[in-house]
């Protein structure tokens, strides 16, 4: 006599919860690529050291500084090496020479002093330069 016993095994569902800050760097960089640099810094900086380090690895951020806005000036100073594209609009007091990785620079209504700062030794990677208006 054979015992035709069918054993039903319920495989437990193993769900693994991943926290936001445990995502791989590549995922963060992809998310950040859809945001302006200012939005990325505003929304994600100072959450934790891991995300801060991912932000510091962005190498082509776009920053716009308008009318010497204090927050934007602070971002320019803190993230000068991550800025690849910079737009200055009516920002006469901005010193942008620390942004040596700039590939694109747009100055709208810049000062003579700012225009005199545009030199190859300050911006060896500069490919695009837009100058609009003036004083």
CB-based contacts of 68, cutoff 8 Å, min separation 6: 90, 91, 92, 93, 94
Domain-wise residue ranges, the chain: 23-58, 61-135
Name 61's bridge partners.
83
CA angle 46, 47, 51 (to 5 degrees): 90
**Phi/psi at 107 (5° precision):** -120, 120
The helix/strand/coil state of 41 is: helix
Q: What pLDDT, on the 0 to 100 scale, is given for residue 68?
A: 92
Averages of pLDDT over each 10 residues, the chain, 135 residues: 50 73 90 90 92 88 92 90 92 89 94 92 93 74
């Amino acid at each position: 006599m054979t015992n035709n016993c069918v054993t039903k095994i319920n495989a437990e569902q193993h769900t693994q919860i991943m926290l936001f800050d445990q995502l791989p760097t590549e995922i963060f960089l992809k998310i950040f690529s859809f945001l302006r640099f200012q939005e990325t810094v505003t929304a994600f900086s100072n959450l934790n050291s891991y995300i801060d380090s991912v932000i510091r690895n962005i190498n082509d951020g776009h920053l716009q500084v308008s009318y010497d806005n204090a927050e934007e000036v602070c971002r320019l100073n803190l993230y000068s090496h991550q800025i690849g594209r910079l737009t200055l609009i009516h920002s006469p007091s901005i010193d942008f020479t620390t942004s040596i990785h700039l590939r694109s620079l747009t100055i709208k209504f810049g000062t003579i002093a700012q225009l005199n700062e545009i030199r190859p030794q300050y911006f060896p990677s500069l490919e695009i330069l837009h100058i609009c208006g003036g004083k």
